[in-house]
Amino acid sequence: MADIFATHEDAGPDRPGTRAEAIHRDIVRAILEQRLGPGTKLGEDEVGAIYGVSRTIVRAALQSLAHEGIVVIEKNRGAFVAHPSVKEAAEVFSARRLIEPKITELATAHCEVAGAALLRDHLAQEKAAERAGDDRAAIRLSGEFHLVLARIAGHGIYENFLRELVARSSLIILLYRRSRSQCCKVDHHAALVEAITGGRSAEAVAQMVSHLDEIERDLELVDTAIPIKPLSELLGAR
């Protein structure tokens, strides 16, 4: 039955909400692939021209990204990809340590045949990207692995919460990683998949905790990064 509250504009794939969501997804994907770095300006006109949409739609997408802490909107300056501080970075990882063991436990309980196939397929994609030397895909897929677990866990709130945390983690890793290595090691994910598909909940949870510890250990959480500012704020008379 058609939704009687849907207006003509709301009805199709071109409705403003859907287009804003598509832009939101695309920007998150660019962050997960580390194409868009912290502090990058997201001009409304420029973003609108890229996607061929009005400023209203761009604004809706940027607002929802800002709501998730992925974008920062500054008065009179516009929207920028967030530049998480050391404190925020520590908070993101402590939040992940809180919810991901639970997600892992739920994913193990609800894995079944379809979930196991999904995990193995994802792992194969991660390995293929690594073999091909496709860094962007490897980085995005390694973040998405955690979201696949949340999908299998079947807990929508955890999944939405984790989507935000994973996108913010990608920015944090870009800013604070010690080495050029990617955030997640495929071997760790493989061990997690083994434990989850084998129904070994405690082992899977322990693997997840040590995996998150390892990611955080590879970060140097010191406030040394200089925020990107326009020259007008750096030069001239004050």
- Contacts with Zn ion by CB under 5 A lie at 184
Encoding tokens for residue 207? 């693997």
Outline where 79-229 has alpha helix (H).
86-109, 112-132, 135-153, 156-176, 186-197, 201-217
CB-CB contact of 141 with 122 (8 Å): yes
For residues 222 and 86, what is the distance between their CA atoms, to the nearest angstrom? 6
| Shortest distance in whole angstroms from residue 185 CB to Zn ion | 8
Q: Which residue is nearest to Zn ion (CB)?
A: 184
| Shortest distance in whole angstroms from residue 155 CB to Zn ion | 18
CB-CB contact of 178 with 166 (8 Å): no
Single-letter residue type at 204: A
CB-CB contact of 178 with 216 (8 Å): no
Give the residue with the Cβ less far from Zn ion, 57 or 184.
Answer: 184
Give the residue with the Cβ less far from Zn ion, 89 or 184.
Answer: 184
Using CB atoms within 10 Å of the CB of residue 142, give its burial: 0 to 12 exposed, 13 to 18 middle, 19+ buried: buried
| Shortest distance in whole angstroms from residue 171 CB to Zn ion | 16
| Shortest distance in whole angstroms from residue 211 CB to Zn ion | 6
Using CB atoms within 10 Å of the CB of residue 4, give its burial: 0 to 12 exposed, 13 to 18 middle, 19+ buried: exposed
| Shortest distance in whole angstroms from residue 215 CB to Zn ion | 7
Give the residue with the Cβ less far from Zn ion, 21 or 203.
Answer: 203
For residues 228 and 45, what is the distance between their CA atoms, to the nearest angstrom? 20
* 3-state SS string for 176-192: HECCCCCCCCHHHHHHH
Give the residue with the Cβ less far from Zn ion, 28 or 184.
Answer: 184
| Shortest distance in whole angstroms from residue 64 CB to Zn ion | 25
CB-CB contact of 201 with 109 (8 Å): yes
| Shortest distance in whole angstroms from residue 74 CB to Zn ion | 32
Give the residue with the Cβ less far from Zn ion, 65 or 208.
Answer: 208
Give the residue with the Cβ less far from Zn ion, 72 or 144.
Answer: 144
Give the residue with the Cβ less far from Zn ion, 19 or 188.
Answer: 188
